[in-house]
Structure 1
Amino acid sequence: MPETRFPRAAAVLIALFIECIFYGIYLVTVVTALRRVLRCSTDRPWKSQVKSQRWTLTVLFLMFAVSTLNIVLGLVRILQGLVYNIRVGDAADEQLGRNWLNMVKGLTLCSQILIADVVLIYRCWIIHGKSRRVVLFPILMWWGALACVIVSMYLQVASFSKSAIDISALVPVSTFAWLTTLALNVYANTMIVFRIRRVVNRDDLATEKRSPLFRPLENIMRIIIESGLLYSITCTIFFITLAAGSNALFLTAAMEVQVVGIAFNLILIRARNSARMDTTLHDSGKHRLVICAPEDAKVDDAMNIVAPREIPSRHSC
């Protein structure tokens, strides 16, 4: 009977092609994000701007390094399988990472997701006035995903020595990891949007007409929703192919590792554009809300997202 499943060799080759396309888009966003980050304040020395944005730049370059390493490993895998005809094992062995290359390539994807999730948790924490209660759930989800990654790496390393460990256990472990990631993203993005929306609604109740000062806040809210949807939809598609055990997993994984960086950069770019229009907002004329103000030492602009500077506890969500 002819093979009806998506061939693994074709999936790996197409995945590299797709990843190259998304990597090109990602490079454009990296360059644009760097320009926006370093031009947030034109009246400051360049070295001073780099110092004030060191955490933003650290995350930006770290995600760039992980994305680049992932695509390089994809090229090496193509050369091994199609050019040098190196046979590691069957489709299951290739997918579950029986050799070091596939294990490291999978680790780069997991690392990219974990880095992005840390940034998302940080944003949620800042936007809610550093409330630990709000970020308790996403932190637990993040540690759960990290634990699954560690278990997955252990099972793959153990399989190198042909131990008795059943590598099929990787499937439920990986499935649980992506479920926690998806839950974390949906929760954190929802809480961020809810917080911003509550501030805008409070202004509507205080005045008969909405203040134009809050239009940038609504723009930031749209930025969060759109970038969050881009990330969450891609993560959902990857999860479906993972749970189905399809070789299309290679394609969705190739998209996922680049889309994570694209979504992060888009928030930086679009938030900085809003910051250029208005760097300071006022909530009912009393409490200042900052979009981008690197010259203010009190505002940790590491992840560049709308953050309440001083919101009394009676107004906290």
Structure 2
Amino acid sequence: MVVAAVLMFTISTFDLAVMLDYTIRSIVYNDPRTSRKFSGIANWWGLTEFCNFVVQSFLGDAILIYRCYVVWSRRKYLVGPAMLTSTTGIICGISAAILGTTAFHQTNSGKDLTPLITSMLVLTTVTNFSTSALIVYRIWNVRKESSRYRFTVSESHRQDPLVKAMRAIVEAGLLYSMSLLVMVILYSLGHHAQVPVSRMIVQIIGITFNLVITRTAYSRDESYATSSIIIYPLRAVTINTEVLVARDSPSEGEK
């Protein structure tokens, strides 16, 4: 998790640096390479940002699949479809990046890469939604089964750690999935808003990764007390008490 956090931070920072360089060149220096005819991934700015997007998406999918794998007691057959969709989406992204380098100066390269990029976005969305749903269902099912053997001393169910975990995963999953869905729609329509949204998604992937950790981390300062007991029917208990009195034998004078 530490390695993943460092990688995501590095990629996000590098993506911001590339975007800042592109903005300065296009606004301050009026670089002709930043004009509309070089938009998309037909220049090194767009190509680099697209590669950042692909790598960040791969890290996000890999961590989410691993979490699902652990939560489901390391059952490989449950994460198999998610691994398939994620791998296929990454292959589409890598293929689009490779084709983008060969068509570096072609203004119509974006049209040729549309099926690959659209497939990558859709498959990434499916992977994120399916794995998040599996994790939430697993936690909800465990909480339901274990509710017969535990009681919670708290003011509300919000302080239940399992409920907090489900809420954090749902929030992170919806944040990521909705961002990808918006990106798919904008890219399909060819809207220029796809550029800032794609840059936001690179940052959102890292945010959702840390959101689950910070929201589900155990804190000693939490004001709830949770105990687990096994409930048995009450029975009458009989206690036998025996009293043994010892005394010295009488002396000859007393006799």
TM-score range for the pair, normalised by the shorter chain length: 0.7 to 0.9
Supply the distance in 2 between the matched residues of 1:89 and 1:71 (Cα, whole angstroms).
17
Q: Corresponding residue for 1:187?
A: 130
Supply the distance in 2 between the matched residues of 1:170 and 1:283 (Cα, whole angstroms).
56
Structure with max Cα Rg:
2
Q: Which has the higher contact order (CA 8 A, sep 6+)?
A: 1
Structure 1 unaligned runs (5+)?
1-55, 286-317
> What is the RMSD of the two structures over their aligned residues, measured on CA atoms?
2.5
Q: Corresponding residue for 1:74?
A: 19
Residue 192 of structure 2 is aligned to residue 247 of structure 1: yes
Structure 1 residues 94 and 275, CA, compared in 2 at 3 Å: closer, same or farther?
A: farther
For 1:104-123, what aligned pairs fall within 5 Å after superposition? 104-123=48-67
For 1:164-183, what aligned pairs fall within 5 Å after superposition? 166-183=109-126
Supply the distance in 2 between the matched residues of 1:283 and 1:63 (Cα, whole angstroms).
38
Secondary structure, counterpart of 2:32 in structure 1: coil
Paired residues in the alignment total 223
Residue 151 of structure 2 is aligned to residue 211 of structure 1: yes
Secondary structure, counterpart of 2:74 in structure 1: coil
Q: Corresponding residue for 1:262?
A: 207
Supply the distance in 2 between the matched residues of 1:167 and 1:237 (Cα, whole angstroms).
19
Deviation sequence 1:126-161 (CA, Å, 0-9, x none): 000000111001100111111111110111111126
What displacement does 1:162 show?
A: 5.2
What displacement does 1:253 show?
A: 1.1
Supply the distance in 2 between the matched residues of 1:188 and 1:275 (Cα, whole angstroms).
30
For 1:83-98, what aligned pairs fall within 5 Å after superposition? 83-88=28-33, 91=36, 93-95=38-40, 97-98=41-42
Query: Do the aligned partners of 2:151 and 2:228 also contact (CA within 8 Å) in 1?
Result: no
**Percentage identity across aligned positions?**
26
Secondary structure, counterpart of 1:84 in structure 2: coil
Deviation sequence 1:151-186 (CA, Å, 0-9, x none): 1011111112659x9541211111110100000011
Structure 2 unaligned runs (5+)?
231-255
For 1:1-317, what aligned pairs fall within 5 Å after superposition? 56-88=1-33, 91=36, 93-95=38-40, 97-160=41-104, 166-204=109-147, 206=148, 211-212=151-152, 215-273=160-218, 277=222
Query: Do the aligned partners of 1:203 and 1:211 also contact (CA within 8 Å) in 2?
Result: no
Supply the distance in 1 between the matched residues of 2:100 and 2:228 (Cα, whole angstroms).
53
Q: What TM-score does the superposition give when structure 2 sets the normalisation length? A: 0.80
Query: Do the aligned partners of 1:125 and 1:131 also contact (CA within 8 Å) in 2?
Result: yes
Q: What TM-score does the superposition give when structure 1 sets the normalisation length? A: 0.65
Supply the distance in 1 between the matched residues of 2:218 and 2:227 (Cα, whole angstroms).
19
